[in-house]
């Protein structure tokens, strides 16, 4: 890692993992050192540290269950570099969507299709696994990218009144044009007021095609009927949906459309998590931000996923995630955290711990 002068950011530490999440972790221990040198750490701490988050944390749930007594606590907290470039706003995460990874595929077999790539002149009477896959995908998501599997949309609880209040607070800080510019997109596929757009982002399930593979994709043309086709999908889960139920619903839906020969295989899954917006730990984050002149940007349900479900679903703890300091480029070669942001994060962690000790324990 090295310190560089970055355009628009100033001096920054650049290196793989500094934004996600080595910068916040090292800053956290710096904050503990500062507290110990100036009167002591005002709360007791227990640590859960794992290195498989990018793989979906496959072993974390069982480890947490097996160490439930050791991890008994009043609240769970996750610190990250959640601040903006100017150091005047910072996110407060109070939930996150879940994730279901699916491989949807079709191979030639008793239903039809060639045993090996076949000349496409025979397409008049030999079925194509590639077309079967296309029809299957179109049977899950419609032409407007709306979900057409009823179990994925019907009867979901949606946001509570508390959640909508937080969305309104979030909308006051959100600039749609700026977001489009950052995303490199020309327009949104939805229309509405910022609060309506954000409610869709946070509380609607989605099905995304992350990749498709079949047949010949090189230059010019190659007239073949492929013998197989596959696509990788990721499904963002919201409260009311679980991975097993969604996978089963998609299989039944395709079967009902005469596409039972299309296989749906679960590749990974991540439950959603939801925290109480008015818990002591959430209140401590807000008050510590305010004490340092930073505006809270609350997310009642973040659109990404993280293993926060171990707090609420396994340990039964209130929790919140947040932290000051600016970073960017996560997972990229130029991942960075600003020097000023890391310093701000250290102060923010110390202020949070002091504030939480003063706020008290839930219940």
Cβ neighbourhood burial of 123 (10 Å; 0-12, 13-18, 19+): middle
Final residue before a domain boundary, out of 220, 251, 270: 270
Q: How far apart are CA 139 and CA 148, in angstroms?
A: 7
H or E element at residue 161:
helix 161-171
Strand pairing class (98-107; 263-270):
antiparallel
What's the pLDDT at 361? 56
Q: Note whether 305 and 338 are same-domain residues.
A: yes
Q: How far apart are CA 101 and CA 207, in angstroms?
A: 10
Q: How far apart are CA 251 and CA 242, in angstroms?
A: 14
In a domain, 237, yes or no: yes
327-328 sheet: strands from edge to edge: 2-6, 10-14, 336-338, 327-328
Q: Note whether 220 and 86 are same-domain residues.
A: no
Final residue before a domain boundary, out of 242, 270, 298: 270
Q: What is the CATH number of the domain that holds 230?
A: 3.30.70.360
Q: How far apart are CA 246 and CA 235, in angstroms?
A: 9
Q: Dihedral angle at the C-alpha atoms of 167, 171, 173, 174, nearest 10 degrees?
A: 120
Tell me the backbone φ, ψ of residue 245, rounded to 5 degrees.
Answer: -65, -40
Q: Note whether 109 and 211 are same-domain residues.
A: yes
Please, what are the averages of pLDDT over each run of 10 residues along the chain (363 residues)? 88 93 95 96 94 86 95 96 96 97 98 97 98 98 96 96 97 96 94 96 98 94 96 98 97 97 95 95 97 98 95 96 95 91 98 93 48
Ranges of beta strands (E only) in the chain are 2-6, 10-14, 76-79, 89-93, 95-96, 98-107, 118-119, 206-214, 224-225, 228-237, 263-270, 273-274, 295-299, 319-322, 327-328, 336-338
Q: How far apart are CA 288 and CA 81, in angstroms?
A: 15
The domain total for the chain is 2
Give the range of the structural domain holding residue 59, as residue numbers without chain letter: 2-96+273-359
What's the pLDDT at 52? 87
What's the pLDDT at 228? 98
Q: Note whether 336 and 225 are same-domain residues.
A: no
As a three-state string, the secondary structure of 53-89 is HHHCCCCHHHHHHHCCCCCCCCCEEEECCCECCCCCE
Q: Note whether 124 and 215 are same-domain residues.
A: yes
Put simply, whether the predicted model's pTM sits higher than 0.85 gets the answer yes
Please provide the size of the chain in residues: 363
H or E element at residue 135:
helix 129-140
> What b-and-e string marks burial along 5-19, b requiring 16 or more CB atoms within 10 Å of the CB?
eeeebeebbbbeebb
In a domain, 348, yes or no: yes
Contact 335, 264 (CB under 8 A): no
Q: Note whether 219 and 141 are same-domain residues.
A: yes
Only one residue has tokens 């919201």, namely 238
Q: Note whether 235 and 281 are same-domain residues.
A: no
Q: Note whether 111 and 84 are same-domain residues.
A: no
Final residue before a domain boundary, out of 270, 286, 303: 270
In a domain, 170, yes or no: no
Only one residue has tokens 């498989």, namely 52
Q: How far apart are CA 82 and CA 7, in angstroms?
A: 20
CA–CA distances in Å: residue 199 to residues 211, 300, 303 = 27, 10, 10
Q: How far apart are CA 137 and CA 210, in angstroms?
A: 12
Q: Note whether 223 and 320 are same-domain residues.
A: no
In whole angstroms, what separates CA 133 from the centre of its chain? 27
Strand pairing class (206-214; 228-237):
antiparallel
Q: Note whether 105 and 11 are same-domain residues.
A: no
Both tokens of 146, joined, read: 């709306």
Q: What is the CATH number of the domain that holds 307?
A: 3.40.630.10
In a domain, 197, yes or no: no
In a domain, 258, yes or no: yes
In a domain, 326, yes or no: yes
In a domain, 39, yes or no: yes
In a domain, 174, yes or no: no
Both tokens of 30, joined, read: 């710096």
CA-based max dimension of the chain: 81
Q: Note whether 251 and 345 are same-domain residues.
A: no
Only one residue has tokens 């032409």, namely 143
Both tokens of 116, joined, read: 């090996």
Q: Note whether 106 and 8 are same-domain residues.
A: no
């Amino acid at each position: 890692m090295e310190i560089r002068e970055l355009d628009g950011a100033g001096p920054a530490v650049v290196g793989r993992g500094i934004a996600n999440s080595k910068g916040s972790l090292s800053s956290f221990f710096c904050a503990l050192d500062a507290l110990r040198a100036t009167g002591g750490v005002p709360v007791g701490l227990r640590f859960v540290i794992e290195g498989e988050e990018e793989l979906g944390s496959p072993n974390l749930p069982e480890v947490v269950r097996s160490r439930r007594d050791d991890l008994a606590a009043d609240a769970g907290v996750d610190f990250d570099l959640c601040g903006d470039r100017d150091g005047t706003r910072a996110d407060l995460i109070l939930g996150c969507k879940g994730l279901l990874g699916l491989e949807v595929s079709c191979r030639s077999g008793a239903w039809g299709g060639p045993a090996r790539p076949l000349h496409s002149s025979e397409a008049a009477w030999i079925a194509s696994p590639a077309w079967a896959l296309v029809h299957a995908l179109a049977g899950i998501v419609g032409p407007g990218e709306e979900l057409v599997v009823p179990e994925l949309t019907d009867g979901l609880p949606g946001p509570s009144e508390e959640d909508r209040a937080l969305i309104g607070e979030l909308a006051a800080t959100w600039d749609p044009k700026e977001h489009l510019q950052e995303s490199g997109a020309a327009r949104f596929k939805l229309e509405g007021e910022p609060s309506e757009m954000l409610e869709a982002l946070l509380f609607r399930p989605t099905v995304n095609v992350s990749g498709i593979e079949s047949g010949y994709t090189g230059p010019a043309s190659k007239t073949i009927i492929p013998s197989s086709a596959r696509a990788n999908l990721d499904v963002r889960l919201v409260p009311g949906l679980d991975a097993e139920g969604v996978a089963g619903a998609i299989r039944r839906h395709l079967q009902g459309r005469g596409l039972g020969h299309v296989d749906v295989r679960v590749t990974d899954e991540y439950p959603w998590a939801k925290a109480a917006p008015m818990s002591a730990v959430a209140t401590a984050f807000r008050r510590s931000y305010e004490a340092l002149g930073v505006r809270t940007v609350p997310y009642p349900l973040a659109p990404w996923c993280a293993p926060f479900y171990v707090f609420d679903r396994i340990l039964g703890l209130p929790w919140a995630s947040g932290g000051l300091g600016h970073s960017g480029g996560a997972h990229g070669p130029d991942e960075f955290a600003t020097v000023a942001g890391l310093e701000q994060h250290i102060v923010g962690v110390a202020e949070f711990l002091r504030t939480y000790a003063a706020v008290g324990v839930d219940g």
